[in-house]
Structure 1
Amino acid sequence: MLGTGTVANPYIIQTPTDLNNVRNKITTGTYYELGNDIDMSKFGNFTSIGGSTSATRFKCSFNGKGFSIKGIKIVGSSNFVGFVSLLDTATGIIKNVSFIDANVSSTALYTGIVAGGTTGTSLISNCFTNGNVDGNYHIGGICGMNGGTVENCFSTAHVTGNNHVSGIARMDSPTTAKILSCYFNGSFTIRETINPPSIFGVSGGTVSSTRLVNSYYNIDTTGLVATSNEFGIGLTDSQMKEQSSFVGFDDTVWGFQNGNYPYLKVFGVPPIPSQKIIVNLNSHLNIISSSLERSKRKVSIALSYSTSISSESTRTLHLMKNVTSHIDEIVSNVTTLQNANTKDYEVTSFVNRIGSNATRFVRTVRIVSSGINPIQIVTDIQIPIKIGQVVYATAYVIENPTNIDMVENQSLVNMIENHSNVKTITNQSDTNTKENQTETRVI
């Protein structure tokens, strides 16, 4: 821990371990300050600092410097349970520190979040608390039993006890104990049902108008209505948010925001809590008009034709075109002699080359098919005919389909040629039947 513990060079608390080590030196003339907010939520149970005897009371000065101790958990079973057990007279001081989400509980007497109790002229000043505090008897949101002075403090904690619960602190002897300019904006739970519960908005016990001064509580959150000065001054929730309600509050110490509760300036201006506001909105829409202009679009179907492949054509196309070309039949005239059974006849057919010359400018694939009709041979056969004799003759047909593929986006003129070759076939009456044979029977 930084510092030497003097008023000029106090110990600087920066970690949960530093905070826990405060208990190691709590003698008169020792000074502590917070160097930043301290998160105690993962520390585990924190044992109250000091004790209730004169030798173990907290005699130091603890200045929070406007920082917070968050999530502290304190569970005890002896009298005087809180962050510190009991502030010693004259030198015990805790100021300018807030306890956020505190959880303090005890099965004995005098339980508070900041301290179990105060004595003599010890002081708790400029502090606020929220969270939960739970004890047996004499429980307060700031201090369990106040024998010193609590000033300029407030609490929004939930205070629970068997009996004798107070929003800030209970006060008994000595008669010099005071609570000055404080307010309670929390709530209560009382477990005891046998005796009439003693619930005090600010403080209970031996209280007078000179000991409980300019201190207030929220009658809406506590459910209390003042019957004596022990309660403090009860205000509605809406009044608790008005600066004019807090008579005697020093505006150099306290800050006020319209529509919000008072705050201690040492901690800075708190964020404005979100509020639900219902707003009725009327909106109007002008007539929606539109101006339309129409243009007609006519879909046309264009048909194009091409000549046969044997012709020459130039095309610029955007659609697929099928081009079919044909050649004339191939006709062979054969003079047939008698005695076909003993002589060979030779038939020769020729097919000229199929050529096409096309210049194309296309955007899609073009498939051009070229074909020739089946080659037919017309043969006149003259043979001697005998009665009762069957004569056979065989004719051969040759087919030659030709396909031409055009390649997409050819920028040059392509010449595609397709030679069709026809073999010379000798027509013999005793040969075997070939493909696509045509059988002619002469009787």
Structure 2
Amino acid sequence: MNHQKYWNPVLETMPREKLKQLQFKKFKRILTWAYTHSKFHRALYDTAGLTPDDIRSFDDIKKIPKVEKSMMRDIQKKDPYPYGDALCVPLEEVSAFRQTSGTTGQPVYQPDTLQDWDWWAECWAFILWSQGYRAKDRVFLPFGYNIFVAFWAAHYGAEKLGCEVVPGGILDTQARILKIQELNATAMMATPTYVLNMADVAKNKMGIDSRELSISKITCAGEPGAGIPSTKKRMEDAWGAKVYDHCGATEIGAWAYECEDQPHGMHVNEAMFLVEIEDIETGHIIEEPGRRGKMIITALDRIAQPCVRFDSKDVIEWDSESCTCGRTFRLIKGGVLGRSDDITKVKGVLLSPAAIEEVVRSIDGLGDEFEVIVDKQGDVDRIKLKVELLPEVTKLNVENTLIDQLRLKTNLRYRIEYYDYGSLPRYEVKAKRFKDLRKK
């Protein structure tokens, strides 16, 4: 069987002006679809006094009201059950159910038609091809298949490329490592947390050096770790493999990826998504590179439950440079830099958990896991950092460097607690390392 080649110069090297025309055409199409078929979207746009006919230029797009996850939660568990008024197709056309992980609140349900699911796989096929996946690869997926989307679409995207896919399913971590070893798997996909956890289990519980296994490339998702230089380095050192980042979400799709050239950022798949960056304070759309804002995104081809100007809360910025790979899809510099709802003030200082991760993972002698707890004593904010010491390392070996780097990178002082290696919780999917107890 001949499998499609996913280096698509027609789309991926399309001149910017033509690409923008394609995006506008697709945006009008999905906007009209949502307005016509979704009671939720029609009410939202009618309240704003807008119809699809009012969107005559690219600049008009910003007039369309944004959708937030809380809105989706409010309309669900109603008829047509369980999706509510955003469903744009008859229930009998829904062929796949997924839901968000629930890490930021009540999960959101995501219906997909067969066409939608094929689109998901197509997005992933573009990602994996750009990262060097080919039909010769044997791809191991070490996660439990369930209602969270996780790497479901990656599985089908890899199959589209002709890769042999090995699902890790209900195997435990040690069994997964043995299966990789047995089958000489060449590639793997997992969260950064679990990539590091697997290497730790292999070394300390099984006496296996993960660098001597056959894995040559790893694609990460679910957390920002693969875009944090110190975390990426830890993963690459642990496995002796190239680590690639990717961004996606259940209600959005797989929208950005790092290519083989690894340009210190990620390509936005602009043939399938429209990404806008909004100034968090003013609400103005940021066009120029170098200014951070939150991402407003439209999935241009998804029909069962459209994603039109969705406020993702992801903080990104445009890169001023183009990629050496030849793709004309724009880059977001450094990938996703955090979430606007994760960035919080502590003692009057804006703090992103990713900045703490960069510090901890950059210091030799500290383990991969850590935990941050913010609370109050009276009216005063306090911040505590729990870290693990590697065997035969004492806090005297690392304390001064850790304190100095935290002060330099976050402008805050911490109460630091040191734990024996292996004491802090381990995670397989999304880690929960940042706890703000002031919100309780």
**Same fold? TM cut 0.5:** no
Larger radius of gyration: 1
Structure having greater relative contact order (Cα 8 Å, sep ≥ 6):
2
Q: Which structure dedicates a bigger proportion of its chain to helix?
A: 2
Q: Which structure dedicates a bigger proportion of its chain to strand?
A: 1
